[in-house]
Amino acid sequence: MPNISRAAGSIPASAIRMLTPFADQAKADGVKIYHLNIGAPDIKSPESAVKALAEFSFDHLPYSNSAGTIELRKAMVEKYYPKKGIKIGLDDILMTTAGSEALSFVFHAAFDPGDEVLVMEPYYCNYNTLAKMNGVIVSAVHTDIESGFAVPSPETIEEHITPATKAIIVCNPSNPTGVVYSKKDILAIADICRKHDLFLISDEAYREFCYTDEPYFSVMQIPDFEENAILIDSVSKRYNLCGARIGCLVSKNKELMTLVTKFAQARLCPPVIGQAVSLAAIDAPDSYFKAVREEYIARRNYTVDALNAIQGVYSPKPQGAFYTVAELPVDDATAFCKWLLTDFRLNGETVMLTPAEPFYSTPRQGRNQVRVAYVLEIPELEKAMKILETALETYKKI
């Protein structure tokens, strides 16, 4: 029997989806599951996007340009990004198969095997998977739940830089913590990158979901930082088009963009139908985002208050995105999350959460924590929180 790749064998399973087989079995047994494990909101997509998909017509479906359709790229450059205070040209943007492919392209083009990328933990666990796929080492700067996962000081971040460090990556707002990096934070990290000649990769998939009064500040707005700045973006969360699988990579670093174009050409093109729907979504009115933002603030407030009302549970209040990390009165959150799916039922229902330990690089950190995605309507969240409270009471007696 041929040997499989040792490198592939070291790739971790997705923390977000690794319990899916147990959820599938529970559903097959007739159990209703409240999914708080995955960032798949129930918010409706913009009407313009829904209409575009309904009216999409073709007698054959050709490839698009490897960089994406010219219509979508122009709309991003001329309509979407200017509203966000971001000025780029057509040569500075490449459409990708969601934000994950954009980041994978960056790991291919900007790193050599053995190079390090610095992240703040807890971090989006798929960063680790994508990095390992490209031989890149993830090095983590720890943040803790007691401080609300506050952004580390520049001095602390700089202490973690080694000769192998090639870039710093931030997720702003953060998945999984909901932390928002302020303009001051971003500029301080940019200064570190200038000093050490590093890339600053900013994952801004949750840009629209900031609940602070301070205007959002993008990596692409940093003055005199063109060669260092890389923006990872996606329509998945912004327009609730997760299944469209459209994202983009933005940078004014010409050498980098030339290299990522080679990888884009090798995979031919991003999904054409997804690009058409994404193009239409750009016409969503400001009222759409206002209503969605208000809904998420209400869901956040309810969820965090409900979590903190459960004995032994603590969750800081996130400033953005639609996740929070909660500490539970359990020794092993992974075992608890599995037990919720395999053994616990409340009136034929249960809840699915994501264990937080895989969002850390530091061993045993986050072992008693979970990531909660408040992506359901409040009546559904109320039921989910009741199930969680009852489950924790039951679990203590086992």
pLDDT tens by residue, the chain, 398 residues = 888 887 777 777 777 788 999 999 999 999 999 999 999 889 999 999 999 999 999 999 999 999 999 999 999 999 999 999 999 999 999 999 999 999 999 999 999 999 999 999 999 999 999 999 999 999 999 999 999 999 999 999 999 999 999 999 999 999 999 999 999 999 999 999 999 999 999 999 999 999 999 999 999 999 999 999 999 999 999 999 999 999 999 999 999 999 999 999 999 999 999 999 999 999 999 999 999 999 999 999 999 999 999 999 999 999 999 999 999 999 999 999 999 999 999 999 999 999 999 999 999 999 999 999 999 999 999 999 999 999 999 999 88
What pTM does this model have? Answer: 0.96
Cβ–Cβ < 8 Å for 192, 198: yes
pLDDT of residue 8: 79
Take residue 248 and report the two structure tokens written for it. Answer: 């983009």
Query: d(Cα 115, Cα 163) in Å, to the nearest integer?
Result: 9
Domain boundaries, the chain: 6-44+287-396, 47-281
Of 3.30.70.60, 3.40.50.300, 3.40.640.10, 3.40.720.10, the CATH number of 47-281 is 3.40.640.10
**In CATH, which superfamily holds the domain spanning 6-44+287-396?**
Aspartate Aminotransferase, domain 1 (3.90.1150.10)
How would you classify residue 315: left for phi > 0, otherwise alpha for psi between -120 and 50, otherwise beta? Answer: beta
pLDDT of residue 11: 76
